[in-house]
């Protein structure tokens, strides 16, 4: 639990049976509405200490995200706009995508990507495509 009272799941880990040392698997007790860990080899069960069974944290730095921008601009499923023309070449079309970076302010923001041949914008920084 975090200092502010919220729960931030971390490493969940693997649990093992106390009777036969086999791995325990998550199992729902529908009648009591609780999460259990149960052995598939014997009848051993234990109540889970929290309801999180899996954590998948994806973190990328801005430098890592610049590598995917060229592919993102070609993705036909992403929303496009003509409201943000490129200051260098005047190209009007931009592609927006949701960033899943480690920085909280970038996780919720939509980043424009220029689709012109020479330049692309990423989080307000411009780099030349070679």
Domain boundary among 57, 74, 90: 57
Phi, then psi, of 62 in degrees rounded to 5 = -60, -40
Residues 26 and 68 in one domain: no
Question: Tens digits of per-residue pLDDT, 81-128?
Answer: 777 676 767 777 777 666 555 454 444 334 455 545 444 444 444 444
Distances (CA, A) of 94 to 15, 26, 67, 72, 105: 48, 45, 17, 11, 21
Residues 51 and 66 in one domain: no
Q: How confident is the model at residue 64 (pLDDT cuts 50, 70, 90)?
A: low
Residues 68 and 53 in one domain: no
Answer with the residue of higher pLDDT: 57 or 7.
Answer: 57
Question: Residue range 30-56: average pLDDT?
Answer: 89
Domain boundary among 57, 73, 90: 57
The range of the structural domain enclosing residue 90 comes to 62-128
pLDDT at 119: 42
Q: How confident is the model at residue 66 (pLDDT cuts 50, 70, 90)?
A: low
User: Is 94 in a helix, a strand, or coil?
Assistant: strand
Q: How many structural domains compose the chain? A: 2
Instruction: Indicate which CATH number applies to the domain containing 75.
Output: 2.20.25.10
């Amino acid at each position: 639990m975090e200092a502010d009272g919220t729960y931030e799941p971390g490493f969940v880990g693997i649990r093992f049976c106390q009777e036969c040392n086999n791995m325990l698997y998550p199992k729902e007790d529908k009648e009591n509405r609780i999460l259990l860990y149960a052995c598939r080899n014997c009848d051993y069960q234990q109540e889970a200490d929290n309801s999180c069974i899996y954590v998948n944290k994806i973190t990328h730095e801005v430098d890592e995200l610049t590598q995917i921008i060229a592919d993102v601009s070609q993705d036909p499923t992403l929303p496009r706009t003509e409201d943000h023309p490129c200051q260098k070449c005047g190209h009007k079309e931009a592609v927006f995508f949701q960033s899943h970076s480690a920085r909280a302010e970038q996780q919720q923001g939509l980043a424009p990507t220029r689709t012109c041949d020479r330049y692309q914008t990423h989080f307000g920084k411009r780099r030349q495509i070679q």
